[in-house]
Amino acid sequence: MTHFNERLGAGGFRFTPQRQRVYEVLMETRDHPTAEEVFIRAKKRMPEISHATVYNCLDALVQSGLARQVTLERGATRFCPNMEEHCHYHCEDCGEVFDVALPKNSTLLPRPKGFKIARYDIAVHGVCADCAAKAKK
C-alpha cells in the first residue's frame, strides 16, 4: 500500500495503523459511509480506535487527497475514496449513493473570471432504477 504512504507523506501526515485502517474501511465497501459508520467498521478489527481518531483520520485522508467528503443533505457527512472525476447519484428512496464517471470534455462548468477552482462536487438527487421499478409494482 505504497500509494497510501506516499500520499499521506506528501500531505505532511505520518503513517499510522489507524489511518491505514480507516482507509481500508473506505476501500473495502464503497458505499459512502458516514464518519459514524466508518467508526463502527474500523472498530471491528481495531477495538481501541476512538471516535475522535476516526474524525482525525478522515481529515488526514481528505487533506492528502486519499478521500473526499460528500455532503448530500442535512445529516452526517459521507466519505468516499474515489478520487476520479465523478458525480454522486443519490437515491432518495433507498438512500444509496452511486458514483457515476463524468464524461471527458463535458463543457459544463462556468468559469467566473478570477475564481480559482480547486475542486467541485456534483450531487444528483432522484430515484434509482431499482426503486423506480419497485414503485411501479
Partner DNA sequence: CTATATGCAAATAGTTTGCCTGTTA
Partner DNA sequence: TAACAGGCAAACTATTTGCATATAG
55 belongs to the binding site for DNA (CB under 7 A): yes
- Please choose which of DNA, a copy of itself, none residue 1 contacts, taking the beta carbon within 5 to 8 angstroms, the exact cut-off set by kind: none
Instruction: Quote the CA–CA distance of 36 and 54 in Å, as a whole number.
Output: 8
Three-state secondary structure call for residue 86: strand
- Report the interface residues with a copy of itself, using CB under 8 A: 69, 71-74, 77, 87, 89, 91-92, 98, 100-103, 106-110, 112-130, 132-133
2 belongs to the binding site for DNA (CB under 7 A): no
72 belongs to the binding site for DNA (CB under 7 A): no
Instruction: State the nearest-atom distance from the C-beta of 33 to DNA, in Å.
Output: 10
Cα distances (angstroms) measured from residue 115 to each of 35, 70, 122: 31, 22, 18
Which residue of 48, 84, 111, 136 would you call a contact of DNA, by CB under 7 A? 48
Instruction: Quote the CA–CA distance of 36 and 55 in Å, as a whole number.
Output: 9
Is the four-CA dihedral 39, 124, 72, 128 of positive or negative sign?
A: negative
Instruction: Quote the CA–CA distance of 94 and 90 in Å, as a whole number.
Output: 9
| Contact positions vs DNA (CB under 7 A) | 9, 13-19, 34-36, 46, 48-53, 55-57, 59-60, 74-77
